[in-house]
């Protein structure tokens, strides 16, 4: 929705909540309008020259934890109450945001009988929520309250219901859903094809070390690991708020690379991570089978292998995290970061020199880019970074271009037959359907 306002976001969220299986009372439309309007204006302020970044959780102080688990994990959230309630105003949100880094903390907010909002505490352990969303953790802890409002940029509100994104208000645009182009459609197929070396390596490893394991059972894992790695790279680039371009191509034509490198550590680390994941799974399975069979003892070697593979897997996960951070920083230099299909970096600061442009490009509102859904657009309406990527992908078939703008928007470009397709509003975080919205989500 174009020319949207916070009240449009409020209406959309209220309709979603009314159709949910939420056991808690659904706030009125006026409460939601006041909430989103106040947070929206707070996002445009600065505190000590810093932009405001904050997370708000709508949570009832009289019943903050209606269904606590029998065996809560150690890192589960808790609410730290203020001695006195604080009025929910732009000024107070801005002031408290300095003490509530959204990567670790959320402000606890609710409303009284008259519908007036107030801040009554802070919620800790939000670090694990962000880690799961950004593919840096295998588990996602349950979320407190009714929903969360995340502010990470000027005039941009993300409304989260558990791990499901209900909607984003980005200045004057209401985005009800993001395109999952990495899971289905032409872009997904390209990335899965590009993961061929990883799958070949894993297939060989299974045949040599775990012949009882069927590769088909692990192929989806390999595809997911490859796509998650690219998603994490894009998220890191977004966080710089500098903008950048990533080009995946086997062609070296029409690219002037200022800083040429050959960085294959990420590719190697991904393969090592996949192998140790298999090792750990097999060791755990053997132990479980022994115990379920009623055996009183398990071979020491099985426990040793389980511990060794788990430790190695974590070490390699840290290595991958470091590789991603290293590569993402290269996009802060003007120019394109260039990869081959195996995720080996060829260099950065690349200038794309293809000058021939298509007369039209086609914006796809769906991940699958079905012909009837395509919307023609003029490539000259885009900036220099986008036009150079459009020109290159048009002239070099098989090349996939990804552009991150300074405001965080991600667009993908790929030529299909005689049309240059552009996808925007691309999903990069690990959003999951909430079980309260009919489809189960993964919870720890």
User: What's the pLDDT score for residue 140?
Assistant: 64
Neighbours of 247 (CB within 10 A): 25
Per-residue pLDDT tens for 13-67?
999 888 877 777 889 999 999 999 999 999 999 887 888 999 999 999 999 988 8
Give the model confidence (pLDDT) of 186-209 as tens digits: 999 999 999 999 999 999 999 999
Per residue in 211-251, pLDDT (tens digit) is 999 999 999 999 999 999 999 999 999 888 888 999 999 98
Q: Residue 440 above 50 pLDDT?
A: no
Is residue 443 pLDDT above 60, yes or no?
no
pLDDT digit string, tens, across residues 248-278 = 999 889 999 999 999 999 999 999 999 999 9
Express each pLDDT in 371-403 by its tens digit.
Answer: 999 999 999 999 999 999 999 999 999 999 999
Confidence band (pLDDT; 50, 70, 90) for 432?
Answer: low
Measure the CA–CA gap between 256 and 354, rounded to whole angstroms. Answer: 11
- What is 185-226 written as a DSSP string? SHHHHHHHHHTHHHHHHHHHHHHHH-TTS-HHHHHHHHHHHH
pLDDT value at residue 433: 55
Res 139 pLDDT > 80: no
16-46 burial, b at 16+ Cβ within 10 Å, e below that, comes to bbeebebeeebbeeebbbbbbbbbbbbbebe
Query: What does pLDDT average to over the chain?
Result: 90
Domains (range + CATH), the chain: 6-177 (3.40.1700), 186-423 (3.40.1700.10)
Query: For position 19, what pLDDT does the model report?
Result: 82
């Amino acid at each position: 929705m174009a020319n949207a306002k916070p009240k449009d976001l409020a209406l959309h969220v209220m309709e979603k909540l009314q159709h949910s299986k939420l056991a808690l009372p659904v706030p009125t439309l006026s409460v939601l309008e006041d909430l989103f309007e106040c947070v929206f204006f707070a996002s445009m302020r600065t505190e000590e020259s810093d932009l405001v970044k904050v997370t708000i959780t709508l949570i009832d102080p009289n019943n903050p934890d209606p269904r606590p688990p029998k065996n809560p994990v150690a890192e589960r959230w808790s609410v730290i109450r203020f001695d006195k309630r604080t009025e929910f105003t732009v000024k107070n949100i801005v002031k408290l945001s300095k003490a509530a880094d959204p990567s670790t903390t959320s402000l606890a907010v609710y409303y009284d009988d008259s519908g007036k909002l107030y801040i009554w505490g802070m919620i800790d352990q939000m670090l694990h929520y962000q880690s799961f969303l950004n593919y840096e953790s295998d588990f996602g802890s349950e979320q407190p309250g009714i929903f969360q409002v995340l502010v990470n940029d000027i005039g941009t509100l993300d409304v989260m219901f558990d791990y499901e994104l209900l909607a984003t208000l980005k200045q004057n645009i209401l985005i009800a859903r993001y395109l999952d182009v990495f899971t289905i459609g032409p872009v997904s197929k390209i990335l899965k094809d590009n993961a061929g070396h990883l799958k070949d390596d894993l297939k060989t490893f299974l045949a040599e070390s775990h012949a009882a394991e069927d590769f088909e059972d692990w192929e989806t894992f390999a595809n997911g690991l490859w796509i998650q790695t690219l998603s994490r790279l894009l998220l890191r680039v977004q966080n710089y708020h500098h903008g950048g371009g990533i080009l995946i191509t086997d062609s070296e034509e029409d690219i002037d690379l200022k800083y040429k490198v050959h960085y294959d550590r990420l590719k190697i680390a991904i393969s090592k991570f996949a192998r140790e994941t298999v090792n750990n799974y097999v060791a755990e399975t053997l132990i479980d089978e022994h115990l379920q069979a009623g055996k009183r003892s398990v071979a020491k070697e099985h426990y040793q292998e389980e511990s060794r593979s788990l430790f190695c897997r974590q070490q390699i996960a840290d290595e991958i995290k470091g590789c991603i951070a290293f590569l993402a920083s290269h996009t802060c230099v003007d120019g394109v970061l260039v990869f081959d299909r195996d995720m080996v970096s060829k260099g950065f600061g690349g200038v794309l020199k293809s000058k021939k442009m298509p007369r039209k490009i086609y914006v796809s509102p769906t991940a699958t880019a079905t012909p009837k859904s395509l919307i023609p657009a003029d490539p000259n309406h885009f900036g220099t970074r986008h036009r150079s990527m459009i020109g290159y992908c048009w002239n070099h078939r098989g090349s996939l271009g990804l552009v991150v703008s300074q405001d965080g928007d991600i667009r993908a470009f790929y030529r299909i037959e005689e049309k240059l397709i552009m996808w925007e509003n691309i999903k990069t975080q690990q959003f999951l359907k909430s079980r309260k919205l009919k489809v189960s989500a993964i919870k720890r």
